[in-house]
Amino acid sequence: MKKTLQLAVLAATIWVTLGFAATQLFTHSLIELFNKSEELLAMGQHAMRTFLMMLPIVGFQIVSANYFLAVGKPKQAMLLALSRQVLFLIPFIIILPRFFGLNGIWAAGPSADLASSLLTATWLLIEVRQLNTKHAQAAVLEPKLVQQNE
């Protein structure tokens, strides 16, 4: 199970990192698809680069949150899934602009991504430690069964 989780996190991280690279490299072109105003292009490039700054860690957060759903822990899964867009993003959008103006709005997204990823990483670390403990206990009680499952 841990290997599957690692593979899923790796795949998601690679995928969103490719998306991150594309948005960083082609920001001007992407914005220009919708509007050619020089003022909007300048502001949009800054906004897009800032708002998507933490995109490479989003794959980890989403896959890990869904892990909890897959192992029958719906409360944790729901909290982690909502943490990014509701628990952190909304308060950051309200609070950060008061201190940083328009840049606070752009910074709210990556701040929420980072906060939710840290929360997810903490819960996942606790979960993995519990799995390791259960695995070690099972190895003591049923050594042949554990060897067959590896």
CA–CA gap between residue 49 and residue 71 (Å, rounded): 35
Which pLDDT score is estimated for 136?
A: 78
Which pLDDT score is estimated for 123?
A: 95
Which pLDDT score is estimated for 137?
A: 78
pLDDT tens column, 43-80: 999 999 999 999 999 999 999 999 999 999 999 999 99
CA–CA gap between residue 135 and residue 12 (Å, rounded): 27
Chain center to CA of 108: 14
How big is the CA angle at 88 (ends 40 and 130), to the nearest 5 degrees? 135
The beta-strand segments (E) located in the chain are none
Residue 87 confidence class, pLDDT cut points 50, 70, 90: very high
Residue 133 confidence class, pLDDT cut points 50, 70, 90: confident
Long-range contacts of 1-4 (CB under 8 A, 24+ apart): 1/71, 1/131, 2/128, 2/131
Among 16-20, 49-53, 117-121, 138-142, the range scoring the smallest mean pLDDT is: 138-142
